[in-house]
Amino acid sequence: MTMRSAAPFQRRALQMTSLIDVMFLLLLFFMLSTTFARTGELSLAVAGTASPGPDASAPVFVRLSALDLTVNGQQGPLEDLPGLIARLSPTAPRVLVSLGADVTAQRLADLLVVLRGIGGALVQVVG
């Protein structure tokens, strides 16, 4: 029985061209298959020096902190805010929102989402 000797193992140079092509194709695939959805937009009015019209009602003052919420000095939960504002200003309320130092962006966004549900409300964030 004769043993054939195998050819010695030779290491070939790595071909980077095919790897780069594959990476480019993957990048192209993920860029084209991704959908870019617009996140919800929260409209804000910057408090300024504009004078209210002659038929404007008194503004509703909302004080927001990390733990509580007050509407014209009355404390209440965020869920009851539309009812409180409707009692104070039944038509097109002007809402001034004052933020405490410890308010997070998510807490402000939650408040603005609730206020957006009030028809005709003009929301201004002050301070």
- Rounded to whole angstroms, the Cα distance separating 79 from 66 reads 15
Are 62 and 69 a contacting pair, CB within 8 Å?
yes
- Cα→Cα distances 63→1, 99, 100, Å: 96, 6, 7
45 strand-pairing partners: 124
pTM of structure:
0.57
CA–chain centroid gap for 19, Å, is 39
CA dist 43 and 38 (Å) reads 14
Domain 45-50+57-126, classified CATH 3.40.50.720, yes or no: no
- The two tokens of residue 114 are 């609730």
pLDDT tens-digit profile of 67-94?
889 888 888 888 888 888 888 887 778 8
Give residue 18's identity as a one-letter amino acid code. S
Contact indicator for 99, 64 with CB cutoff of 8 Å? yes
pLDDT tens digits for range 11-51: 877 777 788 889 999 999 988 888 766 656 666 555 555 55
